[in-house]
Each structure stands twice: as C-alpha cells, then as structure tokens.
Amino acid sequence: MLDICSPKCSDWQVIEMIASDIFENYGYEEIRTPIVEHAELFHRSVGEKSSVVQKEMYSFTDQGNDHLCLRPEGTAPVVRAYIESGACNTQSQSKYFYMGPMFRRERPQKGRQRQFHQIGCELFDAKTPQADAEVIEMANYFLNELGIFDVSLEINSIGCAACRPGYYDELIAFFKDKANDLCDNCKRRLADNPLRILDCKNSTCQAMIIDAPLFSKSWCDECTDHFQTVRDELDQLNIAYTVNERIVRGLDYYVRTAFEFLTNKLGAQNAVLAGGRYDGLVAELGGPDISGIGFAMGVERLLLLLGDKEPVDNGVIYVACLGELATKQALPIISGLRHEGLHVQWSYGQGSMKSQMRRANRLNAMAVIILGEDELKNDNVIIKWMDSSEQEICCIRDLNDIFLGYFFDGDMDVISEDILNQLVVDDKEIQ
Ligand code: HAM
C-alpha cells in the first residue's frame, strides 16, 4: 500500500479530470460508494470460488458481528447501489462512473499493490452489442486522450447460461485424464469452474491449454450473433483488436463479451483496463433482470505507462519580496492573482533575494514579480520574465491583466500541454 506524493498527485488529478470529462460526455454520472461493504456482496457476485474471494479479501467481523470487507472491486458495490437506490426500477440505461481505492491481498509487484485505485464505468439496461462496442470505444478513446497508444485490445465471448454448461462438459472431458498433471489450483478449478483453467499461468497447465477445446465452437446462436456484431461495430469504428479465446476473466459475474487492454511494458501485470458484460448480476443481487456492462482500469498502471516525466508547470509566477515592508504588502497581490486562477508561489518573505530567485528557478517560474520597497511606494512592482531575463516596471492594478493576457491572448505557443490542461479547469472557474 503506497503513499502517493507530488508530482504523482498532479498526474493523478489530470487522469481523473480527463476521465470525468470524457465519461460525462458519454452520459455517465459519478457515484461514490463506501470502501467497506458486506463481504457477502462479493461472495455472491465475484464468486465464492474466485481467488479474490477465497484468498485476497481483507475481511473482518465488526463489533456488531457483521461480516465486512474492504471492497476488492467496484462493480458489485455499484450494482448494489443501483438496486438500493431504486434507480433499477425507475430509470432506463443508467450509467455510472467511479474512482477510488480497492483492496486485494495479492503478492505485491510492479503494477500490483494491495491497495490500488480503479476508475471504472458501469452501464445498465443496454443489452444490444452496440452497447459493448460503445463501452469499448469509450475506454479506447480515454486511453488515447491520455496519450496511451501502445496498448492492444483483446476481446472474447465467454458465452451465457445457455451455452456455458455444454462447454464446461467439454473442458472437463478434455482435462479429466490429464488432471494429475494440472497444478493444485487447476485441480480445484476442474471441479469448481473449469473455465478458469484457461487463465492459469503455470507452464505445465499452459502447455495443456493449447489443445483445449475452444468456446467459440460451443456458443449458442445468440452469443455467436452478439459477438459478431460487437466485432462488426468495432471494425466500423476502426478500433483494432484481436480475438483471444483464452480471456476468461477472474471474476465470476461475466457473460458474453470480455475484453482487456494490454501492455507489454509492465511485465506480468499487463492488463491496464479490463471489463465485460455481466447480464445476470443485477438479478443475482436482488434486483430486476437488467443487463450490465462496464470496465475498470488501474490508475497506478496508467501512471507507470505515462512514465516518470515530472510535469513541468511553465505557468508558475513567483513573488519575491525585498524587505519586511514588501512582505507585509505581498499577500493581497498574491491572492488577487490566485483568484484569477493563476499559479503563484512565494517564500513568505523568507531568505535573501538570491535565495528567493534560486527557488523561482527551481520552480521553473515563467516570471518573478519583485516587490521592492521603492517601487511599492508608487504602487509599482518589477516583473522579471525568466525566459528573456527582461524586466519591466508595472502598476500593481495592471498585474492580473498582464498575466491573464499572457495566457489567453494568442501567446499559447509558449504554454505547455500541462498548463493548457490546467487552464481548462481555471477557465471554468473564471466563467
Ligand atoms: P479487474 O480485471 O479485476 O476487473 O480489474 C480491473 C483493472 O484494475 C485491472 O485491469 C488492473 O488495471 C487494475 N488492477 C486490478 N488489481 C490490481 C492490483 N492488485 N494492483 C493494481 N492494479 C490492479 C474488475 O475489477 C472489474 N470490476 C472491472 C469491471 C467493471 N468489469 C465490469 N465493470
């Protein structure tokens, strides 16, 4: 479980901001559910026999004898909230997005923590394959907007209640005489959920899996048609994908479409974003028979993909004070600029002019406003533009206009992407 410090926090904020902007454009609204849930919720949804429930949940019994846990994922809580709020009875096509910490007691490694953060989306009551394609398209668009292009999309259909039992029988028949060679986990899976054998990372199991029967040969007509239309829609949207019949997902609620956006940059933890359809889940958790589909992505994995580039804020204005009198006059000037949405730093009048300028350099300030006692007597300050080292004297009441003009009047080529992104927020504030 990691602390998240600067500068990662600002990357984090940018990711969350882009996510909410995009998801809202697609009609999703934010939902925040509690971190603590009844453990039973995940037993019934993620699955009693899944690794998440069997081995990874942080669960405990509280003083009131309630069996609780830290949520290991976001879908089941959103479904619970969708049912409890009554939205499942009154609204059609509800769409929610969420962001927050999830907890799984897995073996930590690069890209895998025990507390990690997901951003996810859930769409209810949209059964047609067009919904699957739209959800995948939205995920793809989000990753591209973040600047993440080197991921590959893999999709599969893992059938439905009608065709899955037949496929299970085929898998059981295939693995039965090889059972002794399966790893211990897969021996158990053969009885509990043979589909999960296909997901095993053990090399001996993997060698056997190559020849295992394909689900596509057992799909019912509805699953075949549904998957074909999802593919046609993705083709129409020019979204590249490969069909990987070995994607089965580790959570039991999925039916039909399952998908993963994968990277080869994070070692074993190669899934950046994953999701699928879960049509029976709302009914399973006590609601009406309403379909669901969604995805979630790991924020830490996105951050690893974005790399360690320190976001350089080219828009910092630094205020240096020469003397006690100047320090006393600084705050109204500084807050005036900040209230215009500008990023202003100062050292509270501490340190020599030299040390204040050193700090301005470290902050990569685009300008330093020097408050000198002589200039202040005439309501003036000095602006030093750090790029050119040019200085100018200006009147305090013109300061806000000078800097706002700098950012908004066509001088945009000197402004970095980071600042532009920031200004989108500030712009809203100004309006
Ligand atoms: P999941 O595949 O378990 O699906 O997790 C989704 C994403 O969360 C993964 O692709 C990965 O990026 C991230 N993730 C999972 N575990 C960890 C971890 N221990 N450390 C860091 N990142 C992790 C779900 O959770 C489903 N609820 C997704 C979904 C939403 N399906 C439909 N709607």
**pLDDT tens track of the chain, all 431 residues?**
999 888 788 889 989 999 999 999 999 999 999 999 999 999 999 999 888 999 999 999 999 999 999 999 999 999 999 999 999 998 789 999 999 999 999 999 999 999 999 999 999 999 999 999 999 999 999 999 999 999 999 999 999 999 999 999 999 999 988 888 999 889 988 888 898 899 888 889 989 999 999 999 999 999 999 999 999 999 999 999 999 999 988 899 999 999 999 999 988 889 999 999 999 999 999 999 999 999 999 999 999 998 855 545 668 999 999 999 999 999 999 999 999 888 999 999 999 999 999 999 999 999 999 999 999 999 999 999 999 999 999 999 999 999 988 877 644 444 444 444 544 444 343 33
Cβ(116) – ligand 1 distance below 6 Å? yes
Q: Where are the beta strands (DSSP E) in 268-333?
A: 271-277, 292-298, 316-322
Q: pLDDT at position 66, please? A: 98
- The DSSP symbol for 107 reads P
Q: Tell me the C-alpha distance between 104 and 70, whole Å.
A: 8
Cβ(277) – ligand 1 distance below 6 Å? no
Closest Cα to residue 127, out of 259, 282, 249?
282
Q: Where are the beta strands (DSSP E) in 241-349?
A: 242-243, 255-262, 271-277, 292-298, 316-322, 343-346
Q: Tell me the C-alpha distance between 217 and 245, whole Å.
A: 11
pTM exceeds 0.95, yes or no: no
Cβ(294) – ligand 1 distance below 6 Å? yes
What does the pLDDT look like over 45-99, one tens digit per residue?
999 988 899 999 999 999 999 999 999 999 999 999 999 999 999 878 999 999 9
Instruction: Tell me the best of 12, 70, 102, 252 to mutate to test the pocket of ligand 1, counting ligand atoms within 8 Å of each CB and taking the most.
Output: 102
Q: Which atom of ligand 1 is nearest to the CA of 118?
A: 8
- Between 129-145 and 8-25, two packed helices, what is the crossing angle to 10 degrees? 150
Cβ(297) – ligand 1 distance below 6 Å? yes
What does the pLDDT look like over 377-409, one tens digit per residue?
999 999 999 999 999 999 999 999 999 888 776
**Which residues in 204-221 are b (16+ Cβ under 10 Å) and which e?**
ebeebbeebeebeebbee
Cβ(292) – ligand 1 distance below 6 Å? no
Residue 320's CB: how many other CB atoms inside 10 A?
27
Instruction: Tell me the best of 73, 110, 248 to mutate to test the pocket of ligand 1, counting ligand atoms within 8 Å of each CB and taking the most.
Output: 73
Nearest CA to ligand 1 atom 18: 112
Instruction: Tell me the best of 12, 158, 301 to mutate to test the pocket of ligand 1, counting ligand atoms within 8 Å of each CB and taking the most.
Output: 301
Q: pLDDT at position 217, please? A: 94
Q: Tell me the C-alpha distance between 154 and 242, whole Å.
A: 5
Closest Cα to residue 43, out of 5, 64, 69?
69
Type and span of the H or E element at 119: strand 115-124
Cβ(113) – ligand 1 distance below 6 Å? yes
- The DSSP symbol for 53 reads I
